[in-house]
């Protein structure tokens, strides 16, 4: 899902840099103001964790594999804007340090995985949670459903961007991207739910959403 250079039109790249840049400005300003100095190591280590976790492949079908994205996990743990910062860090380091994802497509990749995956993923989680109820199972269901949706939505947005740029037609890229990622999303959901349950059991203080509920 890391878009390389040359796959999207100049207009779309520039627009995405503007949107992602504006969200980054808001998120970083808020982080600088709200976060105690303790949060700098926490955000940095979480980004390093997402990077490392993305290297562990999970099985998909008959031996093929996908890898974890982690945007909803980060947003359930840290809140939407901090999750955006984590994805921004991971994607920038992958692009500049490892040539993974294009430089001119960085704005789009941050939009797809940070804004769509992290921020919209978080509000999908809150929305589903309001319906599914705040029991243990309802919480796990909301985490899993939002994780699956975040993957399918981010990959569909990516397909739209490639199609809008004239690189490949929508009727080819959208079904193939969304289809493959509907499966990969199942893995993302299974993993996110088991990670969040583990953290909720062992370190509930580390879950932003649990704290929010206790206050509500």
Partner 1 sequence: MSGHPGDEHSGHTHSERHAAPRSLDARAKIFIFFSTVIIGVSTPVTSPRAFAAYFSAVVLISIALRAPLSVFLKRLIVVLPFVLFIAASAPFAAREAGESARPFLGGSLLVTDRGIEAFANAALKGALGVCALTALSLSTPFHEMLAGLRWFKVPAILVSLSAFSYRYMFVLVDEASRMKRARDSRGWRGRWVWQSGVVGNMIGSLLLRSLERSERVYSAMLSRGYDGSLPMAELPAPRLTDFIVAVVFFSAIMSARLFLT
Q: Which is nearer to partner 1, 127 or 160 (CB)?
A: 160
How big is the chain by its Cα radius of gyration, in Å?
A: 17
Quick one: 56 or 212, whose CB is closer to partner 1? 56
Cβ of 16: how many Cβ atoms within 10 Å? 23
Residues of this chain, 194-213, that bind partner 1 according to CB under 8 A: 194-195, 197-199, 202-203, 206
CB of 59 to partner 1, least distance (A): 4
Smallest gap from residue 113 Cβ to partner 1 (A):
15
Least distance (Å) from partner 1 to the CB of residue 119? 17
C-alpha 203/C-alpha 167 separation (Å) is 46
Listed ranges 111-119, 125-133, 149-157, 171-179: which one lies at the site for partner 1 (CB under 8 A): 171-179
Out of 18, 22, 26, 32, the only residue in the binding site for partner 1 (CB under 8 A) is: 32
Taking the C-alpha atoms of residue 26 and residue 23, their distance in angstroms, rounded to an integer, is 5
Query: Residue 186's closest CA among 59, 76, 86?
Result: 59
Residues in 33-92 that interact with partner 1 by CB under 8 A: 37-38, 40-49, 51-53, 55-63, 68, 73, 85, 88-90, 92
DSSP string computed for 52-87: HHTTSEEE-STT-EEE---HHHHHHHH-HHHHHHHH
77 and 50 in contact (C-beta within 8 Å)? no
Please, which residue, 128 or 187, has the CB nearer to partner 1? 187
Which of the residues 95 through 114 are near partner 1 (CB under 8 A)?
A: 95-100, 102-104
The whole-angstrom separation of Cα 65 and Cα 167 is 26
Closest to partner 1 by CB, 127 vs 190, is 190
Q: Is 167 in the site for partner 1 (CB under 8 A)?
A: yes
Chain positions 119 to 158 lying near partner 1, rule: CB under 8 A, are none
* Residue 2 or 127 with smaller CB distance to partner 1: 2
205: DSSP letter: G
The dihedral sign for the CA sequence 82, 84, 85, 87? positive
């Amino acid at each position: 899902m890391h878009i390389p250079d040359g796959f999207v039109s100049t207009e779309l790249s520039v627009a995405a840099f503007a949107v992602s840049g504006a969200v980054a400005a808001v998120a970083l300003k808020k982080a600088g103001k709200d976060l105690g100095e303790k949060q700098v190591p926490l955000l940095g280590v979480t980004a390093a964790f997402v990077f490392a976790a993305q290297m562990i492949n999970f099985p998909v079908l008959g031996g093929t594999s996908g890898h974890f994205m982690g945007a909803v996990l980060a947003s359930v743990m840290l809140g939407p804007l901090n999750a955006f910062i984590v994805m921004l860090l991971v994607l920038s380091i992958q692009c500049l340090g490892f040539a993974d994802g294009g430089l001119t497509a960085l704005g789009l990749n941050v939009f797809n995985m940070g804004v769509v995956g992290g921020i919209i993923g978080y509000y999908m989680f809150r929305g589903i949670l309001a319906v599914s109820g705040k029991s243990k199972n309802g919480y796990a269901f909301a985490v899993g459903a939002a994780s699956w949706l975040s993957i399918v939505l981010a990959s569909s947005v990516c397909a739209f961007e490639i199609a809008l740029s004239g690189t490949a037609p929508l009727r080819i890229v959208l079904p193939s991207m969304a289809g493959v990622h509907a499966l990969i999303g199942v893995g993302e959901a299974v993993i996110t739910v088991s990670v969040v349950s583990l953290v909720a059991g062992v370190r509930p203080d580390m879950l932003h959403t649990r704290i929010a509920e206790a206050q509500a």
